[in-house]
Structure 1
Amino acid sequence: MAIHTIRRGDTLSALAQKYGTSVSALAKTNNIKNPDLIITGRKLTIPDGFDRPGQRPATAPPGMPGSSSRPGSSTQSPTQAGPVTGPSAPAGNGKGVTMDQLRKIMPNLSQAKAEQYLPHINNAMAEAGITTKNQKAAFLSQLAHESGQLRYMEEIASGSAYEGRRDLGNTQPGDGTRFKGRGPIQLTGRSNYRAAGQALGIDLENNPKRAADPDVGFRTAAWFWKSRGLNSLAESGNFREVTRRINGGYNGLADRQQYYNRALSVL
């Protein structure tokens, strides 16, 4: 069992990625109530089976390669995300977005968060085939609006408003809260968690909180983007329809448009 002393700039998401575990596992092992609040100097216990950075437990099932629609906890252990389909190192092949570009598009995004999220963003764009300026601008601007410039990976509201929403597959008591919006493009509702999980090889239906972890959340965003055919709409410049398919309407269209115009200029 490894021990990690928290340093300035550390986040649970970054540490989970470093040690090949999950945010939920780290939080549970160390009795952390708020994963966004960790204290410099505190010693973290890395869960059994994750003794070295990048090591997965021998019993972990292999991942399968492979969001979101608006309109109680599991007793199963989290399933690790599968590998990203596509280039093995998209962040370095010149087809993604650079750190400088990302922070110009999302000026309130901190350097630490940008460093943490950039590989996941570029992997997601590679997985979804997002390669042109128009496609990248549309994708990044929607992420910026939906997540408050990547500040929120989970919906602030409780999710109780989705209770009983059969159109979202919420048919069991507690489904509204259990399957609230998570990820940079918010995955919402039991049906969407099931569909995204099946596509990515992750049991999100029984482990819904995994959708808020960056290694999964950006992939669900890529899955949603690709499954809804948004690249062709983005390439044609039909940003309004891209917004409608993500939001189910046009909420926040003006804000999304501002990010989009900025992204086009930066890219």
Structure 2
Amino acid sequence: MPDILTFETLQKITGSIALDSKQARNAQSFLLALNRYGYGLGLSQPHRLAFLLGQVLLENGAFRYDREIWGPTAAQARYDTRTDLGNTPERDGDGYRFRGRTGMQITGRANYRAFTAWVRRLDPTAPDFEADPDAVNLDPWEGLGPLWYWSERGLNPLADRGDIRAVTRRINGGYNHLSERKRWTLRAQLVLLGYGATDLRAFQRAAGLVVDGLPGPKSHAALHAALLTLPPVKPPKPKPETSRIRALLAQFLPWLAD
């Protein structure tokens, strides 16, 4: 069965990624989580995947960053006492300890605690990320950061509507870098539909639109409508347990039971 997203397809969206680079390792972390857990989160549907990628690729610089670049800046220095993020009111290092990590920058003690609870619903063996924040950057947990943001903010229905402004506001709290989020979403949409990442003209021509290469409202609506017609990627069939296979074989090959 195919993955929800392969590294090769991702590179068509992002441009070439050196295989031995940190960027590639970050991308592989995301793909590991997406292809393992994305089916259960509704992200095997191409139109949702395109909207997710549009946000993720903006937030982490196309997988160049998996943690916050720390100065500290004046704003970062204030994190230490940000009780709204669950950090303590004392200057005890919480700001740096719970700095932004993963491809969507999980920030603050409360969010690390919430991420732990969410991940443990998927895998009860997951670490306590509040107790060990650095573990967030280990596989398979790192790639789950963006999926947690997406799932916990209820973004699938907004993606179903094709409302990129609403998706952006719920992730960002505003509309920062909206044009870049739209650009990444457009690239993802085109690639998932089988076009080149910048070949909007070819799509417009095929869709019977004015061929001007400009991503206006009609082109956005047509891209979204086209993606809605694609079937979701089917999850792989679970492999039978080895012990069960051995038990079945033992009925015919008694020596296996020894």
After TM superposition, list the pairs within 5 Å mapping 1:217-228 onto structure 2: 217-228=142-153
SS at 1:216 equivalent? coil
Counterpart in the other structure of 1:203: 128
Counterpart in the other structure of 2:219: none
After TM superposition, list the pairs within 5 Å mapping 1:36-47 onto structure 2: none
Change in 2 beyond 3 A, CA 1:256/1:129: same
Counterpart in the other structure of 1:133: 46
Counterpart in the other structure of 2:229: none
Deviations 1:19-73 (A, max 9, x none): xxxxxxxxxxxxxxxxxxxxxxxxxxxxxxxxxxxxxxxxxxxxxxxxxxxxxxx
- State the distance in 2 between where 1:193 and 1:135 align: 25
Opposite residue 68 of structure 2, the aligned amino acid is: E
Structure 1 unaligned runs (5+)?
1-92
Structure 1 stretches (4+) deviating beyond 4 angstroms?
none
Contact 1:234 1:242 (C-alpha < 8 Å) held by counterparts: yes
SS at 1:249 equivalent? coil
Higher Cα Rg: structure 1 or 2? Answer: 2
- Residue 122, structure 1, aligned to residue 35, structure 2: yes
Tell me how far 1:212 sits from its aligned partner. 2.2
After TM superposition, list the pairs within 5 Å mapping 1:134-213 onto structure 2: 134-157=47-70, 158=72, 159-171=76-88, 172=90, 173-201=92-120, 202-213=127-138
TM-score normalized with structure 1 length: 0.61
Tell me how far 1:161 sits from its aligned partner. 3.7
Opposite residue 174 of structure 2, the aligned amino acid is: G
Counterpart in the other structure of 2:157: 232
Opposite residue 257 of structure 1, the aligned amino acid is: K
Structure with bigger helix share is 2
Tell me how far 1:120 sits from its aligned partner. 3.0
Of 144, 164, 169 in structure 2, the residue corresponding to residue 244 of structure 1 is 169
Tell me how far 1:245 sits from its aligned partner. 1.4
Counterpart in the other structure of 1:52: none
Of 76, 87, 110 in structure 1, the residue corresponding to residue 18 of structure 2 is 110
Q: Percent identity?
A: 39
Opposite residue 222 of structure 1, the aligned amino acid is: L
After TM superposition, list the pairs within 5 Å mapping 1:47-66 onto structure 2: none
Tell me how far 1:139 sits from its aligned partner. 0.9
Opposite residue 63 of structure 2, the aligned amino acid is: L
Deviations 1:66-118 (A, max 9, x none): xxxxxxxxxxxxxxxxxxxxxxxxxxx33501222200111153334167333
SS at 1:129 equivalent? coil
Q: CA RMSD in A?
A: 1.9
- State the distance in 2 between where 1:108 and 1:251 align: 26
Deviations 1:182-225 (A, max 9, x none): 00111111111001112213301011111222421211321221
SS at 1:199 equivalent? helix
Opposite residue 170 of structure 1, the aligned amino acid is: N
Structure 2 unaligned runs (5+)?
121-126, 193-258
Change in 2 beyond 3 A, CA 1:123/1:110: farther
TM-score normalized with structure 2 length: 0.63
Contact 1:108 1:149 (C-alpha < 8 Å) held by counterparts: no
